[in-house]
A and B are shown apart, each in its own frame.
Chain A
């Protein structure tokens, strides 16, 4: 009885310690922005590996998700004779929810796991220690550029996802199923609000970008420096990021759209 209580306590302390280290890391990375500003080259290199390399999966997924939404939406809406509102349905679900959330999940799988593995391997091969002994702070020099690269890339990727999704939905709805072209766009423009829908979606993707990159970098930085430790950390990144994205999405949706 006491033993299991003690175990519970140990787990609790462990979790709190990790949380504490995670927040210290976040603070360190935010402070590191002063080192980043005079050297934009570091940031550009990371935006390339975090953002540009994720474009393919994000655009293809966006296009297909939009096309599926078009098909399914048409099927349901046509039963009420409301095919004209297909554009609204496709755009609203993409801009408000699917764009930020699915893009963030893909981002966690594609870029987050790569970041964790990279940082974890740098730790395992003593590169981070090496930097420290060269009097270079690895948090500022290695983690900060990656953090801000993720922070900048995520909203752009989510916007790409949503835009391509709308185009995919247009292609299926108007091109294949014969929804009226004008009604598709007009209904969409009348119902989708710039502030309420597009900006709130963008805010979501900014938050997700921050959280996913933070989790990925922390897991790498905190990994046990062995091959097994790094592989576990990579798995944890994907699991934790996905859970965090879904949980935060619920909270943000409740705050933004729940009057």
Chain B
């Protein structure tokens, strides 16, 4: 029957179009290749204050995204935040004494971790801990410090 064959072809075309649309969303819109997860190795870092850093926040080096934050936990003995990041396998030559800082993208943007390379011959690997860290800048604290120093200056003048 010709009629039912046309229907089959149209249905096939519809399903193909739907799948292509999905593929488009996956590849072109969300860039599947860049968000490969599961691959890579995990390193940890301790911060006094992580600000508004979240799981899945980017980890960058020289502005290039090399991984993502995979877990954030709280150490009850030292009162520090323990951030676990998953770094992609291809970036496996990061010196052990690299410096991890929490930055803010733009004035109001999201927070991310930036790594500054150190000089060590040893490289970070699965389970390593980054010991040199700098906490997030909290706007209120900076303003507070600024006002405090201004007030001190004023006291000296008098």
The interface residues of chain B, by DSSP majority, are classed as helix
Distance (whole angstroms) from the CB of A220 to the closest CB of chain B: 22
Q: Do B4 and A163 touch across chains, with their CB atoms under 8 A apart?
A: no
Q: Do A156 and B14 touch across chains, with their CB atoms under 8 A apart?
A: yes
Distance (whole angstroms) from the CB of B77 to the closest CB of chain A: 26
Asked, given contacts A44-B7, A51-B14, whether A189 binds B21 with beta carbons under 8 Å apart, the answer is no
Asked if A2 is an interface residue, CB under 8 A from chain B, the answer is: no
Q: Contact check: which of B4, B14, B25 meets A162 at CB < 8 Å?
A: B25
Q: Do B14 and A189 touch across chains, with their CB atoms under 8 A apart?
A: no
Q: How far, in angstroms, from A194 to B34 measured CA to CA in the complex?
A: 10
Q: Do B21 and A195 touch across chains, with their CB atoms under 8 A apart?
A: no
Contact residues on B (Cβ < 8 Å of other chain), bracket: 20 to 34
Look across to chain A and name the residue whose beta carbon is closest to the beta carbon of B18: A156
Q: Do B25 and A198 touch across chains, with their CB atoms under 8 A apart?
A: yes
Within 8 A of B (CB), among A138-160: 152-153, 155-157, 159-160
- Report A148-185 CB contacts with B as 1/0, cut-off 8 Å: 00001101110110111010000000000000000001
Q: Do B25 and A193 touch across chains, with their CB atoms under 8 A apart?
A: no
Chain B hits for A55, CB < 8 A: 14, 17
Asked if A3 is an interface residue, CB under 8 A from chain B, the answer is: no
Distance (whole angstroms) from the CB of B21 to the closest CB of chain A: 4
Q: How far, in angstroms, from A259 to B53 measured CA to CA in the complex?
A: 13
Q: How far, in angstroms, from A55 to B26 measured CA to CA in the complex?
A: 21
- State the total of A-B contacts with C-beta under 8 angstroms: 93
Q: How far, in angstroms, from A4 to B32 measured CA to CA in the complex?
A: 59
Asked if A48 is an interface residue, CB under 8 A from chain B, the answer is: yes
Q: Contact check: which of A45, A47, A152, A157 meets B4 at CB < 8 Å?
A: A45
- Most chain B CB atoms below 10 A, which of A44, A159, A197: A159
Q: How far, in angstroms, from A8 to B46 measured CA to CA in the complex?
A: 60
Interface size on A, residues (CB 8 A): 35
Chain A hits for B20, CB < 8 A: 163
The interface residues of chain A, by DSSP majority, are classed as helix
Asked if B139 is an interface residue, CB under 8 A from chain A, the answer is: no
Asked if A190 is an interface residue, CB under 8 A from chain B, the answer is: yes
Distance (whole angstroms) from the CB of B70 to the closest CB of chain A: 13
Q: Do A195 and B14 touch across chains, with their CB atoms under 8 A apart?
A: no
Q: Do A156 and B4 touch across chains, with their CB atoms under 8 A apart?
A: no
Within 8 A of A (CB), among B19-73: 19-22, 24-26, 28-32, 34-35, 37, 54, 56, 65
Asked if B10 is an interface residue, CB under 8 A from chain A, the answer is: yes
Q: Do B30 and A194 touch across chains, with their CB atoms under 8 A apart?
A: yes
Q: How far, in angstroms, from A165 to B32 measured CA to CA in the complex?
A: 19
Distance (whole angstroms) from the CB of A154 to the closest CB of chain B: 10
- Report A33-75 CB contacts with B as 1/0, cut-off 8 Å: 0000000010011011001100100000000000000000000
- Report A90-115 CB contacts with B as 1/0, cut-off 8 Å: 01000100000000000000000000
Q: Do B11 and A157 touch across chains, with their CB atoms under 8 A apart?
A: no
Q: Do A198 and B29 touch across chains, with their CB atoms under 8 A apart?
A: yes
Binding site for B on A (CB under 8 A): 41, 44-45, 47-48, 51-52, 55, 91, 95, 152-153, 155-157, 159-160, 162-164, 166, 185, 188-190, 192-198, 201-202, 259
29 contacts between A and B (CB under 8 A): A47-B11, A48-B7, A52-B14, A152-B15, A155-B18, A156-B14, A156-B15, A156-B19, A156-B22, A159-B18, A159-B19, A159-B25, A160-B21, A162-B21, A163-B24, A166-B25, A185-B28, A189-B29, A189-B31, A190-B34, A190-B65, A192-B30, A194-B31, A194-B35, A198-B22, A198-B26, A198-B29, A201-B25, A202-B22
